[in-house]
A and B are shown apart, each in its own frame.
Chain A
Amino acid sequence: MNAALTDWNIARRQIAGNAVSIGFAVAMYGVSFGALGTTTGLTIPQTMALSLLMFTGASQFTLVSTLASGGTALTAVIASWLMGTRNAAYSMRMTPLLKTSGPGKLVAVQLTIDESTAMGLAQDEEAFQGRASRLAFWATGLSVYLLWNLATFIGAVSVSAIGDPKSFGLDAAIAAGLFALVWPQIKSRTDLSVAFGGALIALALTPIVPPGIPVLAAALVSVIVGWVTSRRLM
């Protein structure tokens, strides 16, 4: 009993530490989102509303950059929805692990994003009766929510001070951050081929279809591989 408690305390501290690290890593990008929002014509309240209410970075960047590149409000909205469809899949994946209901569920839904899902899934699902997965999801979701919004505010108000986010390597940081999130999920040769397949399809489609669509098309790789491999097992 004592040994189990100690193990849980160690695991808990490690998970909380990782959650805070991810929050700070994402915050670096939140600053650039805030800056991008106000430089492309949104007001500070509008930029903040996106981080508080939409709270899914890729959709936020998609919406703002579509508006900035001359897209209409409607095309910007649709692009952000397309980018957000993967959150439905994340939510579907996380719901059985989280076991929430009522207001807690409505909050969990809002916190379901790349980082919280990846952290939740990076834990052994059976570890500590599922507590490790749940803690990782909640700690990461809350840490990212708080720091993402704080960072958006800082970026939005100090837009003139930070200069070009690229000169700080922020674009490379987000690529590395996403890579670090998918890395622990790749546990088999099938996972690896799905990862490469998804990446290749997205790159092949990038020059020919509007931004946002290539990433969605990559989801087809999971559908096809999942269908074929589960048939083979039966």
Chain B
Amino acid sequence: MWFAVLAGAAGCYALKYVGSVIPVRILEQPTIKKIVLLLPISLLSALVAVQTFASSQDLVLDARVPALAAATVALKFKTPFILVVLLAAVTAAALRYFGLAV
């Protein structure tokens, strides 16, 4: 288990480091600049989707969906981050507690 923990951690640090030593002139190219600017958007959006609809390799509709809908409304009204997160947690927890969703 220590092998998995340490090898995983070393690789993840190396990945973070590699990104920081790529020469700046490469970053200045318009295409690279645009791609790098857009990368966090597609990755974070994919994570949101997976975190909302995936249960290991199955796609499911459960309490996370109405919770994310509540968070969306909160974001539209420029609600502070912590309240958005709490609202989603409370929505999902309440729906599960009352047996309205899994």
Contacts and interface: CB of A to CB of B under 8 A. Distances in A.
Q: Do A and B bind each other?
A: yes
Given A22-B81, A88-B18, A180-B84, A169 B92 contact: yes
A6 interface: no
A81 B18 contact: no
A181 interface: yes
Interface stretch (A131-139, A142-150, A151-159, A224-232): A224-232
Contacts, number: 307
Contacts of A225: 38
Interface residues of B, number: 73
A151 B6 CA distance: 20
B13 A109 contact: yes
A50 interface: yes
Nearest to A201: B46
A58 interface: yes
A85 B12 CA distance: 8
Nearest to A192: B41
A84 B44 contact: no
A11 interface: no
Given A42-B5, A73-B4, A172-B64, A91 B18 contact: yes
Interface of B: 1-13, 15-20, 22, 24, 27, 30-31, 33-54, 56-59, 63-64, 67-68, 71-72, 75, 80-82, 84-94, 96-97
- Please provide the 9 A-B residue pairs with the shortest distance between their CB atoms, ordered closest to farther: A91-B19, A198-B42, A176-B88, A226-B35, A169-B92, A218-B46, A172-B92, A172-B67, A202-B46
